[in-house]
Amino acid sequence: MAERRRLRAWVVKHWRIVFAVCGALIAAVLGAAVQELADNQLRLAAAAAIVVCLLVVALLTGLTATIDSRLQADRELLTTIRGTTVEHRRLAGSTDRRIAAVRREIAAMAANVGMRADALTLSELNEAKSVETDRTRQLMGAAKEEILILDLLLEDGSWPNEAMDAQYQADAFESFDALVRQTSPGISYRRIIQVVEPESSLRHARTPQLVKHCHHMVGLQRARAGKVSLRVTRRRFPFKFIIVDRTAVVLQLQEYGDDPGALRIWGEVLINDPGGQLVAVFRAIWDEFVDHPSTRTVTVADLPPPGDAAA
């Protein structure tokens, strides 16, 4: 039994040699057959022998080619599988590293000491009857250097903050005007209002408190050039935000009412960000608007008279 296995193994290993020997034997038979064909009268038998030998040679040649082709294909497949496996492992390792890096970044941001977030709904804002109970006004009142506001005016001239209580609007603008006027040497206060058509500016604004405040801003713009500015730009984002001293953001979220084309304030998210990572995102948006070709400064001629604005 062992001898047979060794013989079989030898044949598998040296199959080309076996085929070569067979080929030599067949060549000898062919030679004899040809000689027979020339020397005696049994031409039919000789011809048959030649045909048989040719068939055997053809079969052996085809088998050899098939085996060679199959072995080569198997080698290529094995190489491909090994390469794919290596590549898969490499990509999997790369993906794992990227996921791990993202997790580390998230963990680092979450561990940022001092970052705090607070949320206020519209009802909570309207219930604030004084600065002491209004966390948004407290945050803005603590400004030491600058306040930047990206605002929003709808196509029909309405202002999403119209949903706020009218008295709350008046109190908020009054305290804000006082902050800007009384601070010495004065904080920088800049507001950019997104509109559908910057060419028509704020002529269609219809919220009395906003129009009144814009008139105040234009006056301050002349008196405190470089510190106060009011501009309009083409509308891009359906939200409003306030940046305070590069360390805090008030993000005002809007919602659609019964009219799908109308937006109204839903609430505010207040974020204290001493490290400035999140503030930098909103500051980049602000800077894009500052440099945009559609952004232009508002003048008195761009505003409706304060008494003409309808609530």
3-state secondary structure 104-163: HHHHHHHCCCCCEEEEEEHHHHHHCCCHHHCHHHHHHHCCCCEEEEEEECCCCCCCHHHH
Q: Which pLDDT score is estimated for 135?
A: 85
Tally of CA atoms within 13 A in the half-sphere of 100 that contains its CB: 6
- Domain ranges in the chain? 2-107, 116-308
Domain at 116-308: CATH code = 3.30.870.10
Q: Which pLDDT score is estimated for 300?
A: 93
Q: Which pLDDT score is estimated for 127?
A: 83
Q: Are strands 116-121 and 296-297 parallel, antiparallel or unpaired?
A: unpaired
Matching residue, tokens 């294909």: 73
Tokens at 51, concatenated: 């045909």
**Residue 238 CB neighbours (<10 A):** 14
Q: Which pLDDT score is estimated for 100?
A: 65
Tally of CA atoms within 13 A in the half-sphere of 221 that contains its CB: 15
pTM as predicted: 0.62
Q: What is the pLDDT along the chain (311 residues), one digit of tens a residue?
A: 555 556 555 544 454 544 444 554 444 444 544 454 444 444 544 444 444 444 444 444 555 555 555 556 556 655 655 555 555 455 446 556 765 665 566 556 555 556 788 888 888 888 877 777 788 888 888 888 899 999 999 998 999 988 888 888 888 888 777 777 765 667 889 999 999 999 999 999 999 989 999 999 998 888 877 789 999 999 999 889 999 998 999 999 888 877 766 788 888 999 999 888 889 999 999 999 999 999 999 999 999 987 665 43
